[in-house]
A and B are shown apart, each in its own frame.
Chain A
Amino acid sequence: DQQVKQNSPSLSVQEGRISILNCDYTNSMFDYFLWYKKYPAEGPTFLISISSIKDKNEDGRFTVFLNKSAKHLSLHIVPSQPGDSAVYFCAASAEGAQKLVFGQGTRLTINP
Chain B
Amino acid sequence: ETGVTQSPTHLIKTRGQQVTLRCSSQSGHNTVSWYQQALGQGPQFIFQYYREEENGRGNFPPRFSGLQFPNYSSELNVNALELDDSALYLCASSYDNYGYTFGSGTRLTVV
Contacts and interface: CB of A to CB of B under 8 A. Distances in A.
Q: Do A and B truly interact?
A: yes
Interface of A: 4, 6, 9, 36, 41-46, 89, 91, 97-105
A46 B105 CA distance: 15
A79 B33 CA distance: 34
A89 B42 contact: yes
Contact of B104 (A41, A98, A101): A41
B78 interface: no
A98 B42 contact: no
Interface of B: 4, 33, 35, 40-45, 48, 50, 55-56, 58, 90, 92, 97, 99-105
Given A98-B97, A99-B33, A44 B43 contact: yes
Given A99-B56, A102-B42, A105-B42, A44 B102 contact: yes
Given A44-B90, A46-B100, A100 B105 contact: no
B104 A42 contact: yes
Nearest to A2: B42
Contacts of B33: 98-100
B100 A43 contact: no
Contacts of A41: 104
A45 to B, nearest CB: 7
A102 B104 contact: no
23 contacts: A6-B42, A36-B102, A43-B90, A43-B92, A43-B103, A43-B104, A43-B105, A44-B43, A45-B102, A46-B101, A89-B43, A97-B56, A98-B33, A98-B97, A99-B33, A99-B58, A100-B35, A100-B92, A102-B42, A102-B43, A105-B40, A105-B41, A105-B42
A104 B55 contact: no
Given A42-B104, A45-B102, A98-B97, A104 B42 contact: yes
A100 B99 CA distance: 12
A17 B4 CA distance: 34
Nearest to B103: A43
A103 B43 CA distance: 8
A9 B40 CA distance: 9
